[in-house]
Each structure stands twice: as structure tokens, then as C-alpha cells.
Structure 1
Amino acid sequence: MSQHAVEANFDGLVGPTHNYAGLSWGNVASKANVHAVSNPREAALQGLAKMKRLADRGYAQGILPPHERPHLPTLRRLGYAGTDTDILAKVAREAPALLAAVSSASAMWTANAATVSPSADTSDGRVHFTPANLSAKFHRAIEHEVTGRSLRAIFADERYFAHHPALPSVAHFGDEGAANHTRLCAGYGAPGVELFVYGRVAFNEDAPAPTRFPARQTLEASQAIARLHGLADAHRVFAQQNPAAIDAGVFHNDVIAVGNGNTLFYHELAFLDEARTLADIRARLTGTELHAIRVDAAEVPIEDAVASYLFNSQLLEAPGGMLLAVPGECREVASVSRYLDRLVASGGPIQAVEVFDVKQSMKNGGGPACLRLRVVLTDEERQAVNPGAWLTDALYAKLTAWVERHYRDRLSQDDLADPKLLDEVRTALDELTGLLGLGSIYDFQR
């Protein structure tokens, strides 16, 4: 039985320590901009502008808060002692790479925050959340605890929402969240098909796997989340990402494919077994026909897809068809720009393309789709969400002023050891939790 529902986007608010440390091996943009000077204020304002633009168009738009960085509790767990100032100075002197890791603002990419299954798909009729363990990268593996607190503060009503802890943080159960998960359906409130894309099979060393860059998502992790969320076979498909794509810099599936409603937009190198993947989806998709839009490598070479983040665009339901919200870089790469013009002119389900400026995020390897976590909500579930997390005109004005007040417009690697920066971050986040009505979610508040 179908209920009225919407797909809400919860974007990550860029944190005050947004910087370019080049921490993500396998992410081409992250490595290309290592040690460049960042502008946290501009990055946060760009993200807020994207949220506001979509909210003004009528999309349900929420916010997920940044994390406390530098994360002193992690450094203390690793044996550093003394005052916060002492620890920052010692780590900067002895292990600058470690300081960069615990200072990363990577929680801004909330496509990695969790995997979310709507109530129409789950066995108990609740929306299920599992924070991603992000075990492939140390700087991200420390995120899931606070991410879980944030999600529980926003989606608190146990009548409607179920929360699971992250999977064990080991390579066999590496989980990158919704960046490797998408949902296809006839309508948001109708039962759908959840597509889990994995990079390798952890318990089978002979299975196909990339050789240059690591595969961050395992089949075993995807299967575990499907079990935790109570997904029947009719609501789930597991598909392996093409190892060649991973080795070309496609570290997550959302860098080479994006889906929404009954539309799947993907590059020909997205899946190891394309025909089987499409057949499995079609066999489970009810009430509608799958619109599979395949982009050939002859039209858009995979290198151009990675450079432009064409597939890391937001695919949004719009009157009369789909809207593709692309990063500005898509108009700077000739093959991609030409393809987008042909795509809109083709008369297919994607009717319009709009450009968004998220350059500060793109330099670290994250486009518009990286910045949002999609949560399908019925009308009742939407009413049960913490109201402080929804972006309104009033909240947008408050957050813009908050960023202008607290964020620096220039941040280098050397600045990460500045104890004043830590004080600035804590002051800002303490105020932010009040603005969003989240309570005490940060370690320094507890």
C-alpha cells in the first residue's frame, strides 16, 4: 500500500576546519589539491546557498551539523596527554599527518553519513538508519559515533525511526553509506528497490577487485545492512562496481551512477555486470518501468566523468520530469557539456540541467550529491522530524550570519595546530546545536 511521501535531502553543513590535506587515496580531486589554502567560510556559504536554492524550489531540505575538529578525544585515545594546547603542539611537531586527519571536515559529505531505508521497504514499517563505519580511511572512520548522535537527535521518535550502530570497523565490513546505495521506485511512498553497489567480496580473495585503488565497500557490509533494515529480497539488489572504474578514480558508486524514482543515470563502466544489474532491478521494480540512461564512454570518457563529477549530481523529481543539479565543472569539461545539451534535447526523463557552484567541496573530491543524505518520509514521519533541522528562510539567515561570525576565510595546514582554531570551532558548534535544537551531541558538550 502506497502512502504520500517525499524525498528529503539532508545536507552536511561544511565545518570550520575545511582544508585540503589530500587524505583520500583513490579520490583524484582530493590528491590534486593537497596543501592548497582553503576558504572554510566560502565553502559553508556555497553549501548553504545550494540548500536554499533547492528549498526555494519546494524540495524538503534539512541540515546535518559538522563535527568537532580537530578531534582531541581521538588524539587522547592514541596516547597524547596534557592540555588541549599541549596536545595540538605535540602532534603538529611529531605527527602532522595525524593532526590533518583528526582535523578533516569530511563529515560535510553526508552521502557517506549513513544508509537509509524508507518505511515502505522495511519489515517493521519504520525508517531505518545505519551510520557508515567508513573504515577505509582513518580520518573518516572516527565520524560514525557523532553521526549516529546527530541522526538520533533529528529522527528521535522511535515510533517512526530505527537506529542501528555502525558495522564493525574492519576491512571485511567496509561501509561507505549512501554513496554506494540508491533507491528506485514507482513513487516515494510505494515499495521500492534498494540498489547496493559494492567494490569487492571480502571473504572471497579470488573475486574480481581493483588493483590500483582500494574498493571501500564490501558485499558483506551491504548484505548486513539489508538484514538490519529488514529488507526482503523483493526490495534489494546487490551489484558489483566495475573494478576498472574504481582504478580510474571512481571511489564511490555515486561518482559514476545516480538514481531517483524510476530513473537510473549511469556510465557504461559503472557495473561489472551491467545486464544482470538492470535485469535484477527490473524484476523487482513494480508499478513502473525502469528508465535506464546509459552514457557511453565514446560520448563521455570515464576520465571526463571523474573530472567533472557528472554523476555526482543530484537527480531530483521535478514537474514534468527530472532535474539534474550539476557542479559547475560539468560545463567546463567539453565532452560533458556537450552531452548534457544532448541529454536535455533528447526528450527523456531528465528534462533540465542546473549548475551549482560548490567549488570548495569539489576541490576535495565531493560534488552536489556528496553533500546530501536522502531520506524518504511520509507525511507523518516528516512531522516527527526535529523541526530545528529543516531549512527555512529564517534558519538560512541565522546560519549565514553564524558562518560569517565564526568561520575563517583562509585556512592552511599550519593553522590546524592553532589552539585558537579549536576554541573557535567549539564556540561555533555550541551555538549551532542551540540553533538546530540538537542538544549535546559533541564530546566537548558531554
Structure 2
Amino acid sequence: MSAREFNFDGLVGPSHNYAGLSFGNVASFSNVKSASNPKLAALQGLAKMRALAARGFGQALLPPQDRPNFRLLRSIGFTGSDAEVLSKAAKEAPVILACAYSASPMWTANAATVSPSADSADGRTHFTAANLNNKLHRAFEHEQSARALRAIFKDEKHFAVHDALPGTPAFGDEGAANHTRLCKDHGSAGVELFVYGRTEFDASASAPKKYPARQTLEASQAVARLHRLSAERTVYVQQNPDVIDQGVFHNDVIAVGNANALFYHEQAFADEAGALDQLRRAMGAVGADLNAIRVDTAHVPVADAVASYLFNSQLLSKADGKMALVIPHECQEVTSVARYLENLVAGGSVIDELIHFDLRQSMRNGGGPACLRLRVALTEAEAAAMHQGVVMTEALYHTLVAWVEKHYRDRLEPADLADPQLAIEVHNALEELSRILGLPGLYD
């Protein structure tokens, strides 16, 4: 059965800020407490969505989450009116206030893991909201992520949306950022690749020494069970602990796959040869050959890959059978990466086009093009069954640009998080957005 891949980009919220909360994310830490521009961030993201939709790629969006997270603040003892809660938190626990205002839901690659109907035993598209329990500022996201996914994919004939795994270290789950689907085409059965950083119940297994490994093998296995995946077509591979310690906090910072192509760095996996062997055997089971595009350390050092977010790019299938790589401008500013990409597209690779976007507001907070999107392969019937109000069109683009211009600030300082007026502005903006998208009651 034929299917089309949709990319659901996270719409940047009105409280986009640089709090530097994500230990292990070099870009996020590097810009801690600097001023952000929420308006520009949202407009940059919308421009990317519009351009890709205009090219004929399936493009939709996931709405931002409400901020600040008053439920978090009240659950740890801050009381009174909303304004009083913010004032007390700003004085007594400013870092926790920053967690409550986190802009990280914009990175929808972490919202969930998705398995298309062609892969699942019950013939439905499955979503499991990621618990993101490694970081306080993200550990509450799964409730609204699941709520939004159920609003968009509410037809249970076609879709199954699962709640997050138990929020314990054993089941640390970071969603699609550590998951890749490889296939002959989007509508046929594929191979689901889960990349994990550590094993909870094997003390002898290797693990990073400096930065945390956020995804566990146990979590990946649990998601595969929930999605009713075939064991023959499911592969588990350990991420190289040494690259985690170099700032590669998710697999999508060091590898990206699409159709039968895996674009990856030499140091991506703990056992490169073993990983490729597993993938080739699994791909053979679906009648496809693995096209492994390896980037050698000699050509692009890991530090340059992290600085440019070369692998945190979108790899998109084009109508002519070739692929386009959606990259941030930073890839052109790192010499080794720019040189590599020039040779790649000129050298007869399946990747024959580079599409550049200015996503500096997202990049400075630690997320590139791949972080911003959740991939969902849908048949024609499934695409018709999902909520249509989130599908990017030219009309929706112009409506959302006007909405951003109306509601977003163009400068946000860390001290502004204590301003009760900011909370009111965010609430009013999201109430209007829910009407624009045709999703009443989206926010609790």
C-alpha cells in the first residue's frame, strides 16, 4: 500500500528562551541566559514549513505547549495566585522557574516514537509519548504531547496513541531522536532501528563517563512491544558512549536515515560493523538493500558535526528517487562540513540536493532541523483521517505569521520569566491558536 511521509514540525512557542537547562547539549549550554527572540524563532520555523510544503513534501505542525507549567510549580509548594507563584519561584528557585518556562517542546523529534501501520501487527499507526525523564524541564511534556497527538490522530481505527513509559531511569525514553525507520518505500514494511545509550540492568555494559545516556535499551524494547513490531524487522544498536561524551546527546545528532539510506558518522555506534550487519539482514527481510553513507572522522571530526548539526538534518525522498538533505546555515560555516557536503552532492550519491534554512534561534538552543520535526508515514486513508487543521498550507502559513506578529515578543531576557504579564500573553496566544487550528480544548 502506498504511503506518504509527513513531517510534523514543532511550532515555537511565545516563551522561547535560552535557559541552558540541558546538560550534555553543548549548544544549549553555550547560550545560557542570553536574550532570545521568540518572534524570529517562530517565523524561522514557519518559513521552513512553508518552503517544504511548497516543494510538495508532506508538512504539518504540532502546537506549542502552555507555559509556564504552573502544575510543576504548584506541585513543589509554590502557592497563591499565578502572579504570586511566579514571584516566589523567581526569588527562591529561579532555575526551576526556567524549567517551568522551557521552550523545549518545539523539538518534536522528542515528542514520541512513531511506527507506521505497515510495521505494526494490528495495522495501525502507533505513537508512544516520550517520558523524557532525564531532565526536569522535559519530564512533564509527555502529558500534553499525548493530549495533542490524540487530538490530531483521534480515529482509533487508524491510530493508537500510548501514554509515556514509567518515569524511572530504567525506562528513559527520548522518542524519535533515537529511532530511525528504514524501508524500501514508506508504504511497505520497514526496519525500525532503536539506538540506546545504556542498559539499565547490565552493569558490565559500556556507558558514557561525562554526559548522561538518556535512552535505555529497556525503553526501546518496551516501545517496540507497545507498537507490536516484528522482531525480525526491529534492530537495537548501542550509541557510541565516547561520542555522547563529546556532546552527541541523541542519535539524531550523529546519524539520520530515510527510505533505504543511512547517513551516519564513523563514530556513531559502539559497534559499527555489528550495527550494519544487523541492519543489512533486517533490510533483506523486507526486500531492500541498505545504502550506508559513512562520514569518516578524517573528513568531519565529531566536534565539527556537533557544531554544524550536519546529521541533525532532514533527509527527504524526492519524486525522482533521489534525496534532499535539509540543513541549517551552520553547515556552510564549518569548513570541513561544507567541503564534505559539496563533494557528497557532486559525487553521485543518492543525496543530490542541499536545502538550507536559517534556524539560528533553534540552533542556539540546541536543536536543528531534525529536532524540529516528528516523522509520520501515512496512507491516503490515514492522512484523510487525521485532523486537517494542522496541515501546512499557504493560507495557514499567512494566518500563523499574523498570529505570531500579534502575540510574540521580539526579545526575551531571563528576568522576564518572572513577569506575570508574560504568562498572560502566552495563555491568550495559545487560546487563539487552538481556534485557528480547529482544536478546541487542546490546553488544560
Scaled by the length of structure 1, the TM-score of the pair is: 0.98
Report how many aligned residue pairs link the two structures.
Answer: 441
Shift of 1:354: 1.5
Alignment of 1:408 with 2:409, yes or no, is yes
SS in structure 2 at match of 1:140: coil
Instruction: Work out the CA distance in 2 between the residues paired with 1:249 and 1:103.
Output: 24
Matched, 1:370 2:368: no
> Do the aligned residues in 2 keep the contact of 1:130 with 1:165 (CA within 8 Å)?
yes
One-letter amino acid of the structure 2 residue matched with residue 423 of structure 1: I
Q: How much has 1:78 moved relative to structure 2?
A: 1.2
Q: Percent identity?
A: 63
Alignment partner of 2:173 out of 172, 175, 178: 175
Partner of 1:275: 273
Q: 2:249 aligns with which of 248, 251, 262?
A: 251
Write the distance in 1 (CA, Å) between the matches of 2:197 and 2:400.
Answer: 38
- Structure-1 residue corresponding to 2:117: 119
Report the alpha carbon displacement of residue 189 of structure 1 after superposing the two structures with TM: 0.5
1:215 to 206, 213, 216: 213
The 1-side partners of 2:389 and 2:71 are apart by 27
Written as runs of structure 1 = structure 2, the 5 A alignment for 1:326-337 is 326-337=327-338
Match of 1:227 in 2: 225
Q: Equivalent residue for 1:305?
A: 305
Deviation at 1:441, TM superposition (A): 2.3
2:290 alignment partner in structure 1: 290
**Aligned-partner Cα distance in 1 for 2:357–2:236:** 31
In structure 1, C-alpha distance between the alignment counterparts of 2:198 and 2:55, rounded to whole Å = 39
What is the 5 A alignment of 1:65-80? 65-80=63-78
Contact map agreement 1:153 1:439 (CA 8 A) in 2: no
State how far apart, in whole Å, the 1-side matches of 2:154 and 2:397 are.
23
- Which residue is 2:395 aligned to? 394
Give the Å deviation of 1:438: 1.6
* Pair 1:321 & 2:325 matched: no
Q: Would you say the 8 A contact 1:320–1:351 is kept in 2?
A: no
- SS of the residue aligned with 1:82? coil
Task: Give the AA of the match of 1:329.
Answer: E
> Paired residue for 1:10?
8
Check the 8 A contact 1:196/1:238 in 2, yes or no: yes
Q: Please list, as runs of the form range in 1=range in 2, the aligned pairs for 1:127-276 lying within 5 A after superposition.
A: 127-276=125-274
Q: Which amino acid aligns with 1:253?
A: N
1:422 match: 423
What is the deviation of 1:306? 0.3
CA contact (8 A) 1:328 1:358 kept: yes
**Could you tell me how far apart the structure 1 residues matched to 2:76 and 2:421 are?**
22
Check whether the contact 1:314–1:325 (CA below 8 A) recurs between aligned residues: yes
Aligned residue identity for 2:176: A
Q: For 1:251, give the aligned amino acid.
A: F
Partner Cα distance (1:204, 1:416) in 2: 42
Measure the CA separation in 2 of the matches of 1:252 and 1:206.
Answer: 22
Across the aligned residues of Structure 1 and Structure 2, the Cα RMSD in angstroms comes to 0.6
Q: Which residue of 1 aligns with 2:24?
A: 26
User: Tell me, what secondary structure is at the counterpart of 1:265?
Assistant: strand
- Indicate the residue corresponding to 1:99 in structure 2: 97
What is aligned with 2:53?
55
Amino acid at match of 1:262: N
Measured in 2, the distance between the counterparts of 1:331 and 1:391 equals 28
Q: CA deviation at 1:289?
A: 1.2
Deviation (angstroms), 1:242? 0.2
Q: Take 1:298 and 1:222, find their aligned partners in 2: how far apart are those partners?
A: 32
Q: Distance in 2 between matches of 1:148 and 1:282?
A: 33
Contact 1:195/1:237 (CA < 8 Å) preserved in 2? yes
Structure 2 spans left out of the alignment, 5+ residues: none
Q: Does structure 2 conserve the Cα–Cα contact (< 8 Å) formed by 1:172 and 1:202?
A: yes
Cα offset, 1:317, TM superposition: 0.4
> 1: CA distance between counterparts of 2:171 and 2:440?
31
Cα deviation 1:161-190 (Å, max 9, x = unaligned): 001110011111000000000100001000
Give runs of ≥4 in structure 1 deviating > 4 Å.
Answer: none
| Per-residue deviation, 1:204 | 1.1
Structure 1: how far apart are the matches of 2:290 and 2:77? 53
Give the Cα separation in 1 of the matches to 2:33 and 2:162. 36
Tell me: CA distance 1:35–1:53, structure 2 relative to 1, closer, same or farther (3 Å).
same
For 2:19, the aligned partner's letter is A
**Under a length normalisation based on structure 2, what TM-score does the superposition of the two structures give?**
0.99
CA contact (8 A) 1:74 1:102 kept: yes
